[in-house]
Structure formats: structure tokens, C-alpha cells
Amino acid sequence: MSNSNIVVAISLLVVSFLVTVLMLPKLIKYLHYLKFGQAIREEGPQSHMHKKGTPTMGGISFIVATVLALIIAMFIDSSNIKYYFLFIYTTISFSIIGYIDDMLIVVKKKNDGLAPRKKLMLQILFSIIFYVLVKFIYEDINYIYIPGLEYQLNISYLYMVFVVFWQTGFSNAVNLTDGLDGLATSVTIITTSTFALLAYKENNFPVFVFCLVLVGALIGFLLFNKNPAKIFMGDTGSLALGGILAAISIILHKEIAFIFIGLVYILETLSVIIQVAYFKKTGKRIFKMSPLHHHFELSGYGEVKTVYIFVIIAVVSSAIGYFVGVM
């Protein structure tokens, strides 16, 4: 990858950062005006009750910033326009599901938005469309790369089923992670940066641009989302981020590496599954509260320290994931 390409990518990172930072103050003010505030679960931590009414749907800011930077990238790097179109679709599609979910929540003033079955159907639909687009652009994609063995496990059209499971699963996993000020944002900056390094290693300029653009937008968002948060990303942001990360791992064929890079999301999801299954069987809870970050929070670490702990876990697991990815 040439120095000029790196300069272009970093410039687009700056663009996405500035768009997010300039957009958020006005968005926060507008959401306050509309009274589009976060609803807090009654069964959630009592320390979160003061957050009720904090503007949500802030993911709109970094979605818009990312899409705008990618459109600029189309004009700068027109030979790769089909890849940028794919990235724009990936960014917008899952954010639409989150937007619908958020709108229903803020209108009802309750924490139950889009019905789970309808949400799942939309996630499956958008994942299938993503698979078709990737298949059209990349052609030979129906395999999972096994690092270390340098072996491509060809699973034919079962890979479409895998894509649906992967995108839907990680979309929901990031959504579960988004429960503390700055948590999902910080962790996703780390995971996306790791994918940027892997894309750079493979000389994949379009994916490198996509990752850096998203990182820039998320850094801008973190300035307003860190504790005490002035705005939350909402499902508009979290569902989109999960879908994007899963998509990048599929495009780069770093599915195995993503298990390590996205370890925080997986741990959060497993904690919920284990908690529900154990409670149904015994009537008792393993964790003080799930997802896992609430267990740490209620164990005396508090919100800020818990975020730091999970960021450290993300850094270590992403470093391992990077080395797995280059094997």
C-alpha cells in the first residue's frame, strides 16, 4: 500500500471524525427537543436511573459520517467503487433495523421496541442480501480460512447460512455490549482498528479505508458518549456496528480471528445465555446481573472501572486475534 493511499485513508478518517463531532451537538439538542430519551429498564442497575431521558439514537451521527466519507472515497478511488457500495449497504442496512427499534422505544417510552421475530427476520433478510452482493463482487467466497493450516474449508452454499448466523449474532452481541457509557464505542474502536491493521497487512485498500473511516467517526462519538454520556448510540448504532464488524471479517476471511478480536462481544452474549438457561433450570442466577458488564458493575467496580477492564480485555484479545489473522 503506497504512502499516498495511507494519506488518503487518514484524511477520510479525519473527515468522518469532524462530521461526527460537528453533527453531535446539534443532534443532541434536537433529540432533547423531541424528547427522544433513553428508557431505563426497571430491573436494571439502580445507579442507571439518573440516565433516563439521555438522548439516544446517537448512532445516526457516526452512520452519516461513515457513509459520507465512503461516498468521498468513491470519487477518489473510483476503480474500487463496487467495494465502497458494498460497505455503504452494510453500514445502512443494519442501522435501519436499529432505527425502527429505537423509534418504537422512544415513542412508547418503554424498553421494548421492534418485536424479536420481526427484528430477526429483517436481520436474516439483510444478511442474505449482503451475501449475494459479496458473492457477486468477490465470487469465490464460500469458505472459511483456517489460520495456521493455510487451509480453505469450502462449505459451498452453506456459507450463506454461516453469513446469516455471523452477522445476526454479532449484531445482537454488540447491542448487548452497549450498556455502559462508552463501552461499546471504546471496544469497537479497538476491534475495528485491528481489522484496519489486517487489511493493511493484506494490502486491501478499500477495507482499510472503511475501517479507518469508522474508527474516526467512533472516536468523535466517544467524546460525547464517554462517562457521563451526553448521548447514547441506541440500537441504530449498536446493531449497525455488529453487522459491519461481521461483514469485515467475512470480506477479509478472518472469521476465526474475529472470535478473538470480538471476544468481549462473545463473552457478553454468553453471559446472557448462561444466565437465562441456569435460571430456567434452577431458579438461581450465576451472575449478579447480565450482560457481564453489569455483573462487574454490581460487584463493586463501578461503571468507569468496568469499562476500563473490558477495554483491556479487548486490547489483549484483539492483539491475539491479529496474530491469528496473519497466520
- Per-residue pLDDT of 6-21, as tens digits, reads 999 999 999 999 999 9
Q: Is residue 309 part of a domain?
A: no
Which set of grid coordinates corresponds to residue 181? 457509557
Indicate whether 221 belongs to any domain: yes
| For range 34-48, the mean pLDDT | 63
- Give the CA dihedral 125, 144, 248, 159, nearest 10 degrees: -10
Q: How many domains does the chain have?
A: 1
User: Within a domain: residue 312?
Assistant: no
Statement: residue 319 has pLDDT above 90: yes
pLDDT (0 to 100) of residue 48: 59
The yes-or-no verdict on residue 146 having pLDDT over 80 is: yes
| 129 pLDDT above the threshold of 80 | yes
Asked if residue 315 is part of any domain, the answer here is no
Note the pLDDT of residue 97. 94
The C-alpha cell 480453505 sits at 152
293-309 residue pLDDT tens: 989 888 888 899 999 99
Residue 270 within any structural domain of the chain: no
111 has a pLDDT exceeding 70: no
23 contacts 224 by C-beta, under 8 angstroms = no
Q: Is residue 276 part of a domain?
A: no
**Element spanning 249, H or E:** helix 234-251
| Residue 320, domain member (yes or no) | no
Residue 321 lies in a domain: no
Contact 153, 142 (CB under 8 A): no
Measured in whole angstroms, how far is the alpha carbon of residue 29 from the centre of its chain?
25
Residue 43 confidence (pLDDT) above 60: no
Q: Distance between CA 283 and CA 276 in Å, rounded?
A: 10
pTM of the model: 0.93
Position 31 scores a pLDDT of 87
Largest CA distance in the chain: 60
* pLDDT confidence bin for 150, thresholds 50/70/90: confident
pLDDT of residue 39 exceeding 70? no
Structural domain for 104, as ranges: 3-255
Sign of the dihedral through C-alpha 16, 131, 165, 116: positive
Query: For the chain, what is the radius of gyration of the CA atoms?
Result: 19
257-297 pLDDT, tens digit per residue, is 999 999 999 999 999 999 999 888 898 888 888 899 989 88
